[in-house]
Amino acid sequence: MKKLSAIVGFALLALNGYTQKGFTIGANVMPLNINIINQNTWGNGREYDYKPTYNFSFGIDVGYNLSDHMGISTGYWFTNLGQQYLDSYSGSDWERTLTLKYNMIPVMVRFNGTGSKVNFLGGAGVVIANLQEAQQEWLRDGAPYSETIENPITLESFDLGATDVTERFNASDLLISLDLGARISFGEKLYLDATLNVGYGLNDINHPDWQIPNGSGIYDPSHNAYAGLKLGLAYVLFGGE
C-alpha cells in the first residue's frame, strides 16, 4: 500500500501543471450486478447454483481535465462485491451469500466529446480494492447452518458456516475497469456522467490457506466481477474554459 500511495501521489503532483484545464470533484453512486467467478465452498464437496446478485457502490471522484477531450480521474469508493448461491439437496433448501466490502481507489484515463449538452464519454484503467470485511450467511431451510470440518491445508478445524470470513480472503485485489456512456453538461461548471461500468479482478481473491480443491479435486481461482450503472455528479472547481 505504501508503493500504491506513492504512485498515486506522484501522479497527482505530476498533473498539477494541468489544473488550469479543469480540476473536478464530485460524488457517485453505482447499483451493481456482482459475481464471484469460480466459487469456493471450502471443502464441503459441493458447488451451489449461482443466483443473480445485486449490491451497490458509492464514493467520491476527483479528476484533472488535461484537455478538452482527455482527463485522468481517481477517487475513493465504498463497494460491496460478492455472490449469492442456492441449491436443494438432502431434503433441504440451501442459501449462501458472500458479501465482500472493499474500499476502492480507481485510476482511470477518460475521453469525452465536446460541442453539445450531451457528449460521448469513455474510460479505461485499474481499480485497487482493499478488503475491509467479508461476511457470510449460510442457511439450511431458512436457519443458520453450522458444521465443523478440517481445513486440508492448515489441518485446523473451522466452522463452514461462520459469519465473519474475512481471514479466508486476500486483503486486496486489482481490477481492470472500463466505462462507456455520456456526459451531460449543466452550464460551464457542473456535469453529470452516466456510464456503464464493468470490472474484472486479475487476482485470486482466496487466501492461500483457503485455496481448497472442489468436489472434483480441482482448485479454480476465484475472481471478482461486476457491472453497474455509474452516476457521477461533478463540479469544476477551477480551470476549464
pLDDT at 226: 98
Q: Would you tell me how many other CB atoms lie within 10 Å of the CB of residue 143?
A: 8
Closest-CA residue to 219 (of 145, 152, 129, 157): 152
In order along the chain (241 residues), what is the average pLDDT of each group of 10 residues?
45 36 91 97 91 98 89 96 96 97 97 88 97 98 96 96 98 98 90 96 98 89 98 84 49
Task: Report the alpha-carbon angle 112-58-206, nearest 5.
Answer: 105
Residue 187 pLDDT? 84
Closest to 36 measured CA to CA, from 221, 218, 228: 221
Residue 8 is predicted with a pLDDT of 44
The reported pLDDT for the residue numbered 228 is: 98
CATH topology of domain 2-238: Porin (2.40.160)
Say what the pLDDT of residue 169 is: 98
